[in-house]
Structure 1
């Protein structure tokens, strides 16, 4: 059976006019080129070149083979172009993250991803968890990283971390007598984010379960804006402790320890079932590794 080397030598001999030209093109010797063409002619069981004529003068069988050779080489070129294009193609993943994640481990995650999977590009969307959930369900996002409360039955997920939330108040709001009952905390206005915020929902559930009324101040969807309002003496709020650990240690906030203890919120990388499964688990494990590499659990502000 004829092979590709024989076919391309035959083709370039015809295109360039001489065996030497084909040999130079293919970086082989003229004798090797001659051998290939003779072997091809033997495989065809018919003469390819007219007797007593130049090598470029083909028999009808030779003309037929030339057309077939052109088709084979064109197909091989197309295959190689396809392979090269696949190697160059960037796969863009639409990933939804909350502000907390954008401020903490996401930059390290992207850096690590680029080093391990250079052909994967992330297109982030920073939003509130409830909005990210809806964007996932409507197909606007491929993956989301959200608290477990926002992982629905239509999704699969990978646990990436458990984040500690703490109540912070203006310095001197309470005596050092701790832990504090929830009704004492309710003496201060409670600063929350918008109605779609996980922080707002958790605060509502906490006080509702205890049957305690409290005054709500709608601050901002920005965690740093909430912190600024606490420092301004507006009230208290429940926000990620690790993000403001340095400020707590420096006395800029009073950390309020409740009798019920601090809350921990599990964060999952989620994706729709039967969609992006392998990639979702891969990126989830990669995110968990990035978080674990940080001695503070991954949720310290990346300044």
Structure 2
């Protein structure tokens, strides 16, 4: 029995169509159809009922899913345990966010390449909300985001927590004394993307302080937020660890604001499926890198 055909069966079962499985496995719909037909012929049963819109598991197909997952899991664990990691080929789709990209992502990618030099990395940067959906729908293999993600068969590994502080450009000439949230709201507030975790925390803090109709500029680009803050467009609550260069250069200054902005926690998120073993290994690598990065910081990062 061809193990690749068994893996194909699982992908069709999860995604509900030959075309979606073909996209996920980087092949053609005809190739997927041929693999399933060959597997059904070898087993002497029908695994799927087919119609023009979708495919559905037969009763025997539903019974076969658990056994197929166990078979693929054992095969992948065997491959990981005894093979040379450098000989493994394929790709891993990783989604992350700007906060991690500006912190320890390069060290993680370097370690991943050292272990799996022949595995290609498809890296995308977007919001945590979008990446959470992508990993739950199995459109990406691993997400490094603000989590956790609560969904069936999803694993969350704690990565790190970044303490946040309010920042502003010296151009704003803010007084060198303890400041209030109301004083921050006298300026445009440069915030993370709408509906993100820090955006909702900001709205709650402002509401709790009785601040109505604050001016908030949202962006899903951390580089944009930092640049606007440096140019004096507004103030922003960000992890100090990702603006170390700006603080050292003096283009941003840290402000003493009460109440403090809540810290941000990050997770490695992946699907607990038997054919996702490299993602599980990569998630643990990310955790080790995040640990090392956090412990190396003495200014604004904590574990």
TM-score (norm 2): 0.61
Q: Distance in 1 between matches of 2:121 and 2:300?
A: 20
- The 3 A distance-change label for structure 1 pair 92 and 230 is same
1:271 CA drift (Å): 1.6
Does the CA-based 8 Å contact 1:147-1:268 persist in structure 2? yes
**Deviation per CA, 1:159-213, whole angstroms, max 9, x where unpaired?**
11111222112225432112x2222222222122432444433322321233322
1:151 and 2:180 are equivalent in the alignment: no
**Partner Cα distance (1:206, 1:275) in 2:** 43
2:270 equivalent to 1:271: yes
Alpha-carbon distance between aligned partners in 1 of 2:288 and 2:131, rounded to the nearest angstrom: 23
Residue 131 of structure 1 corresponds to 130
Query: Considering only aligned residues, what root-mean-square deviation do their CA atoms show, in Å?
Result: 3.0
**In structure 2, how many angstroms separate the alpha carbons of the residues matched to 1:276 and 1:297?**
39
Q: Deviations over 1:190-245 (max 9, x none)?
A: 12243244443332232123332242342532212112211222211112211112
1:50 is matched with none
Alignment CA distance shift 1:238-1:151 (3 Å):
same
Find the aligned partners of 2:218 and 2:117 in 1 and give their Cα distance.
40
Partner-residue secondary structure (3-state), 1:174: coil
Report the CA distance between 1:145 and its aligned residue.
Answer: 0.9
Match status 1:205 vs 2:196: no
Query: 1:296 maps to what in 2?
Result: 297
SS at match of 1:293: helix
The structure 1 segments of at least 4 consecutive aligned residues displaced by more than 6 Å after TM superposition are: 297-300
Cα deviations by residue, 1:96-126 (Å, 9 ceiling, x for unpaired): 1112222332222121122223354322111
Which residue number in structure 2 is paired with residue 255 of structure 1? Answer: 254
Residue number in structure 1 paired with 2:92: 93
Judge which range, 214-223 or 107-116, deviates more. Answer: 214-223
Q: How high is the TM-score relative to the length of structure 1?
A: 0.61
What corresponds to 2:117 in structure 1?
A: 118
Unaligned runs of 5+ in 1: 1-82
CA contact (8 A) 2:185 2:215 kept: no
Contact 1:190/1:214, CA 8 A, preserved across alignment: no
The Cα shift of 1:259 comes to 2.0
In structure 2, the CA distance between the partners of 1:140 and 1:286, relative to structure 1 (3 Å rule), is same
Q: Specify every segment of 5 or more residues in structure 2 that has no aligned partner in the other structure, as ranges.
A: 1-81
Contact 2:126 2:220 in 1 (8 A): no
3-state DSSP of counterpart to 1:266: strand
How far, CA to CA, are the matches of 2:220 and 2:86 in structure 1?
Answer: 41
**Alignment-derived partner of residue 175 in structure 2:** 175
| Residue pair 2:164, 2:263 contacting (<8 A) in 1 also | yes
CA contact (8 A) 1:104 1:298 kept: no
Residues 97 and 298 (structure 1), Cα distance of their counterparts in 2 relative to 1, 3 Å cut: farther
